[in-house]
Amino acid sequence: MKRLARQGICWFIGWVFFTIQAQGQAVRSIDNHTVLVYNRGGIIPFTQLDNRSILVVTPRKTSYANFISRLGRYTEIAETDFSSYTEDTKPYNTIILAGKTAELTADILLKARQSANLGKQVIVCTFVTRQQEAFLSSPRFGGQLTELLAVGWGAVEQQNMAMSLFGGMAITQGLPANKTTYTRIQYAHVNPTAWDIGGLTKKIDEIAAEAIQQRATPGMVVMALKNNQVIFEKAYGYHTYDKKVPTRLSDIFDLASVSKIAATTPVAMHLYESGKIDLDKTIGDYLAESRETNKADITVRRVLLHEAGFIPYIPFYRELKTGDLQSYPSPTHQVKVADQAYLLTDYYRQVMWPEMLKSPVKPVGNYVYSDISMYVMKEIIEQVSGTALDTYVARWLYKPLGMKTAGYNPRERFDKDRIVPTEQDMIFRKTLLTGYVHDQGAAMAGGIAGHAGLFATANDLAIYGQLLLNRGKYGGIRYFQGATVDLFTSRQSEKSRRGLGFDRYDPDSKDGYPSRLSNNSVYGHTGYTGTCIWMDPQNQLVYIFLSNRVHPQVTSKLSDLNIRSRIQDAIYETILPKI
């Protein structure tokens, strides 16, 4: 362990050096001419988003599409036009009013002031000409409204204004008191002198085309962030091989085992910081039902490292008896595992969890990757917090961060056509799975498990990845202490490359894992459905790959062709300095 401690100190010193160096380079290449004229209550940039219900009001939605769409990258927003202002603003506590000078008439501004008098926070975003700038650069509304202006009305000005509201761009114009720093991801055109994005696009296009042509996956979304800025995002292919629904950036994917580090582990980190979980206490200390089992004395640390000696998984669906699963809901069958497939209501608690508690344990200390580890972590989390995992992570993390789609059981929240299908299940559920978790055990647990069940878009994962690269801070809010992020994401085992919950760079991989150009600071995870997210603190890089490689049936071609790693290699080849 002393060797690991020394490795951790060296890694952390290197991480700090590279982080300072990278942040010094971040988001400098794009000029932002947005001016913050008056910042009522210091609300710009917006901070915790779960307390805001935001309505954007413009003269015509089509004319302000760039503004509206860019706002929507940061959080859930609603939109309306001036003609519906009075009725549509009623449910919202934050009103963003945008338009050109001539469009912001006395009538609409009077309504905005009335909203402010009712306790709503109103932000007026005015797009002006160069001649109007000086005239409108002083507060006009007696301190009632927050005011911003931008010279011009094109796509860039609209996007920069939107990003300025959320801290995606720093406001550097105007009075010193009204200047801001960036606090969230920047979505903007990359400076062509910084990296060869055209060349990168060509490389990734070719790899993606190969994957689709070889039927490794029908479609995918690739996203990369460098220094807090999106440098690449593109959707490829279709939801299925019949090519009826093109893959979109806004599509929601089954993340499979990425759930381990994007749901279960961050909650464990939060409870660790809160003193509710001690890594060196045992399963028996937290779960009374385990105290007479072979798992009672296994520590939480061993569970998170996959060194608890658990077997890899239990194929519960193979043990179903006649009557356990039926095609319609009833008082006894309330667990919906797919369309027209309902499981016995208490099957997880009465059958699955007891079987896990009775399952054999090999000698503790050896690395065996096991889904049962994260079943156990979910039980511990829910026991000590008194809250269901899905509720906890949504309330505490996803909603405040602005992660709009991340969560479990997406069919309860989104239209079916937004969700990418996975397998044509021929054995257990006998249907095409769309919005029901691919993992059979997680489905049988009600779609909410510690090892699988999370669905999200690439953009949501980008927000989470940037939070981790920022060592726990995002949007002006601190979610983790930096030391906690360092502890869980750095190597913590002498038996494997693993961190606590997180997978990591493998120095012994022949082909390079996760990439031949990655380094010892890299951490993240892959998912069985064909997903991954990797964070690289040394290079301030987030890489996300989402696909449905299990459609229509499970295939190993995505791995055989090394698609995920080759795309990551291409990104490194673009951003790393040539030697």
Summarised one tens digit per residue, pLDDT across range 273-321 is 999 999 999 999 999 999 999 999 999 999 999 999 999 999 999 999 9
For residue 14, pLDDT over 70 is answered with no
> For strand 77-81 and strand 94-100, is the pairing parallel, antiparallel, or unpaired?
unpaired
| pTM of the complete model | 0.94
Residue type, 333: H
Q: E strands within 441-529?
A: 454-456, 473-474, 477-478, 503-504, 523-527
Half-sphere CA count of 525, side-chain side, radius 13 A? 27
Q: How confident is the model at residue 466 (pLDDT cuts 50, 70, 90)?
A: very high
pLDDT at 6: 40
- Separation CA 498–CA 491 (nearest Å): 5
For residue 453, pLDDT over 80 is answered with yes
Q: What is the largest CA-CA distance in the chain?
A: 79
pLDDT at 9: 42
For residue 387 the two structure tokens come to 């809250």
The residue whose two tokens read 């079943």 is 375
Residue 536 near residue 519, CB atoms below 8 Å = yes
Please give the DSSP secondary-structure letter assigned to residue 260: I
The closest alpha carbon to 77, from 58, 41, 52, belongs to: 52
pLDDT at 523: 98
| Statement: 253-575 belongs to CATH 3.90.480.10 | no
Summarised one tens digit per residue, pLDDT across range 66-84 is 999 999 999 999 999 999 9
Of 9-13, 102-106, 166-170, which range is least confident? 9-13
Decide which of 3.60.60.10, 3.30.1380.10, 3.30.70.20, 3.40.50.2300 is the CATH code for 35-178. Answer: 3.40.50.2300
> Angle of helix 265-273 relative to helix 371-385, nearest 10 degrees?
40
**Within the chain, which residue ranges are assigned CATH 3.40.710.10?**
253-575
**Within the chain, which residue ranges are assigned CATH 3.40.50.2300?**
35-178
pLDDT at 27: 43
Sheet holding 407-408, edge to edge: 253-254, 454-456, 407-408
For residue 342, pLDDT over 50 is answered with yes
